[in-house]
Amino acid sequence: MVKITGYVSKYLKEKPLSVKEYAPETRSAYEEYPELEGSESYDFTTVRKAWFDVPLRQKTLKEQVDQIDVLYSTPAKELIRNADNLKITKVIINRNKKALQIQTKNGMVMATGGFEKNSECLKII
C-alpha cells in the first residue's frame, strides 16, 4: 500500500515498523518474485515486531465499534462512483431480499467469506 507508514502514524497513532528492517531473514515471505526487478521495494509495515498485529486491530475496532456497521449475508450488487474522482460513494446491497442503497462516508470494507465449504466454487477451482 502506498504511504502506509504515514497512515499508521496519523490514524493509528503508532510508530510503523518495517519487516525488512527487523526480520530480513523472512525476505522470501514478502518478496514473492525476488528474481523480478523492483521486488526489493516490497515491504510489510507493522506496529510491533510481529507479523500480525491482532492487539492493535482489536484496540482500534473497540474504539470505533459504535461507528462501524457490519452486515453479514449481504451481497453487494453494485458500486456507485463519484464521476469526478472515481471514489466509491454508494453501494447497492441485497439485504433480506430487498435492494438497498448505502451511502459511504469514510469508506467501506468489503469482504468475502471462505469458499472452502462451497462445493460449487471448489469445482470451478
Alpha-carbon gap, residue 56 to 62, rounded angstroms: 10
The model carries a pTM of 0.42
d(CA 110, CA 18): 27
**Share of residues in the chain with pLDDT > 70 (%):** 75
User: What band does 98 get if pLDDT is binned at 50, 70 and 90?
Assistant: very high
Domains in the chain: boundaries: 4-65, 76-111
CB neighbour list of residue 13: distance below 8 Å, 6 or more residues apart:
none
Cell 499508521 appears where? 8
Q: Which three cell numbers stand for residue 43?
A: 515491504
Answer whether 109's CB lies under 8 Å from 100's CB.
no
8-66 pLDDT, tens per residue? 788 777 788 888 888 888 877 777 777 888 877 777 788 777 766 655 566 666 666 67
